[in-house]
Amino acid sequence: MKAQIVSHYGKKTRLKSIEMPDPEIQEDEVLVQVAAAGVNLLDSKIRNGEFKLILPYKTPFVLGHDVAGVVLKVGSSVTRFKVGDEIYARPADHRIGAFAELIAVKEQDLAIKPKELTMEEAASIPLVGLTAWQALVEKANLQKGQKVFIQAGSGGVGTFAIQLAKHLGAMVATTTSTGNMDLVKSLGADVVIDYKKEDFEKVLSHYDVVLNSQDGKALEKSLRVLKSGGKLISISGPPDPDFAEEIQAPWLVKLIMRLLSFSMRKKAKRFNVDFSFLFMRADGNQLSEITSLIDSGIIRPVIDKVFPFAATNEAMSYVESGRAKGKVVVKVR
């Protein structure tokens, strides 16, 4: 099979297209013929080596965290999928590799693809959909009538999270640039702040939940828009001790994460705000819940560009530029 690999870590590293042996599947896995793969900022961060502490991949390895395709083969203990099923998934950490013609995925991480979506549209969903779900449903337990601030509303996570929060009955505020204001309003945002003209901390107050995806400066400002007892969930760091426990990190990594998040946790305590870090995980059952929301027309994918498989490096550069509205996808087959 053809695959795009990271031969060594580094910001200037370009993925290499090579021929590799087809993956062998274990009894609880299915072999998927990849039709399309979503491209995420996480791919660039892993290639750059920014997540080596959390996810130490041994080079060379195949990149890619979002897959849509067709089941070619099933392991002996697989019961929920059969050959020919159209599926989509966010493969589990240490099992990634969607930038390839074939991938082996664990049965528990898979879901049947939403009926009306193309393969490219389906490939745009898993990582951002699960991130939004785990932040707003699982961690925040977002309720009808609550107020949530979702940063960067026109990005991949933002476009999905706005729609999910509206479905849950929340009032949604977001930030975006002038050119994307109509897009985020069409997704359901109630309060839209042009980040080039206004400072969100001067506009928003007494919010129940903030989903932070920006830098440390925005994270700190977010504390001031929350009410006492509010929840600040960050998908861009710093990782906290709870997350270190969750991934069963070695004691040294636990210590590093405790130190990295110390200042933020201390500030959150002063504001009487609950701070937590979220690094989303693969979950086929949650993805099936997302499928029903898409099939019911409650959530729609937002795709900016589809690149050919040979242009995966260009697709990654485009995502890194921060200009994408919604998701960027690579068409593999």
Q: Give the global pTM.
A: 0.97
Q: What is the pLDDT of residues 85-101, one digit of tens each?
A: 999 999 999 999 999 99
- Rounded distance between C-alpha atoms, residue 287 and residue 281, angstroms: 11
pLDDT for res 328: 98
pLDDT at 181 over 90: yes
Q: Write the pLDDT tens digit of every residue in 125-165.
A: 999 999 999 999 999 999 999 999 999 999 999 999 999 99
**Alpha-carbon span 12 to 316, nearest angstrom:** 12
What amino acid occupies position 188? G
The mean predicted confidence, pLDDT, of the chain is 97
Q: Residue 114: inside a domain, yes or no?
A: yes
| Structural domain containing residue 218 | 128-277
Residues 173 and 229 in one domain: yes
Does residue 287 belong to any structural domain of this protein?
no
pLDDT value, residue 53: 87
| pLDDT tens, position by position, 59-77 | 999 999 999 999 999 999 9
Residue 271's domain is classified under what CATH number?
3.40.50.720
Cα-trace Rg, the chain: 19
Shortest CA distance to 131 belongs to which of 329, 322, 288, 286? 286
Co-location of 228 and 111 in the same domain? no
Are 104 and 136 found together in one domain?
Answer: no
Write out pLDDT tens, residues 247-296: 999 999 999 999 999 999 999 999 999 999 999 999 999 999 999 999 99
Residues 133 and 271 in one domain: yes
Q: Are residues 255 and 168 in the same domain?
A: yes
The CATH number that applies at residue 312 is 3.90.180.10
224-242: pLDDT as tens digits: 999 999 999 999 989 999 9
d(CA 122, CA 40): 14
Q: What is the pLDDT of residue 145?
A: 98
Structurally, how many domains does the chain consist of? 2
Q: Which of 131, 176, 136 is nearest to 153 (CA)?
A: 176
The 10s digit of each residue's pLDDT in 38-58 is: 999 999 999 999 999 889 999
Which letter does DSSP use for residue 25 in this model?
P
Assigned domain for 282 exists: no
Asked if residue 17 and residue 112 are part of one domain, the reply reads: yes
